Amino acid sequence: MRYPVLFNRAAFRRTVVSVALAAAYSSSWALPVFTFTPSAVGLTGAPVTADNIIVSDFARVTFSSPTNFTEQGYLSITNFQLGGSNVTAGGLNSTYSLYFAFTGAGHLTSANTNPLTGATNGVLDTLNFTLFGANGNSTFGVSPAGATVSSSGAQALATGSLIDGSVVSVPLGGSFVPSAAATVSFAVAAGKQGFFSPQPFYNVAISAFTNAISTVTPLADGFIVNNGGGNLNFAAPIPEPETYALMLAGLGALGFMTRRRRRQS
């Protein structure tokens, strides 16, 4: 069985370095803070102030050709964080729930088509989503037929679409780990402004997903993700002047290392 999924070793190394650099600068590179107020849209729950949203991923990825894929699914909001620590969101997934419904499409940019024997990478071409708020605890499932949600009184709170995005997959332990990252627009739905603070609300969101082996089921034409992991935050953080200096120094070091490897090879 051969089916394409998503990576490239050089790209993966660059991603790891980028993540490491971001972690090193985190002390002066804070995420934008936001507040959600469920009662402003008729939901029963306490306001929550955070800078990061934790989600669970339920998705079906289908390949229509060796290089083209579509994706459909839901992201259930399971928790919030502020400054790297979990914060209590009173009523979340009890008296009310929040989730994203999304669809997308993309294509591979590497020749490998078997994630079990090599790494593969690709890009997202389209991505559209709607953020919903619902009464009670919404439940999610996924099967070869697609991802599903069961919710009560769902209302659209915001919508958005792709600005930029990529997908990768790494072979591991006889299976593979699919990951993705996307920057999307974020537009508050008419009449729902009271749910969001600050106002006007951020108009860009940044998301990242890495799904553990235990959450991934390969299929003949793709795979499904059942309760995978990810996070989302708003707007692009703006580094302080001293952070720019650190970034330039880090990029200079990376350039030196690259040139040195080229000379040695």
105 contacts: CB under 8 Å, gap ≥ 6: 68, 69, 70, 71, 124, 125, 126, 127
Beta bridge partners, 228, equal 57
What is the DSSP annotation of 136-179? EEEEEEEETTEEEEEEEEEEEEEEEEEEEEEEEEEEETTEEEEE
Distance (Å, whole) CA 90 – CA 59:
27
pLDDT at 114: 63
Question: Each residue's pLDDT tens digit in the chain (265 positions)?
Answer: 344 444 344 444 444 334 433 444 344 458 999 999 999 999 999 999 999 999 999 999 998 888 899 999 999 999 999 999 999 999 999 999 999 999 999 998 876 656 656 678 899 999 999 999 999 999 999 999 999 999 999 999 999 999 999 998 877 766 778 899 999 999 999 999 999 999 999 999 999 988 888 999 988 888 999 999 999 999 854 444 554 455 455 545 544 444 444 455 5
Domain regions of the chain by residue span: 9-239
φ/ψ of residue 43, rounded to 5: -95, 150
pLDDT at 19: 41
Distance (Å, whole) CA 32 – CA 196:
13
Longest dimension (CA), the chain: 65
pLDDT at 109: 87
Question: Would you call 252 exposed, middle or buried from its count of C-beta atoms within 10 A (0-12, 13-18, 19+)?
Answer: exposed
199 contacts: CB under 8 Å, gap ≥ 6: 193
pLDDT at 246: 52
Distance (Å, whole) CA 37 – CA 90:
11
What is the distance of C-alpha 232 from the center of its chain? 6
Helix axes 9-25, 241-264, angle to 10 degrees: 150
Distance (Å, whole) CA 34 – CA 49:
6
Beta strands in 4-51 (DSSP E): 34-36, 48-50
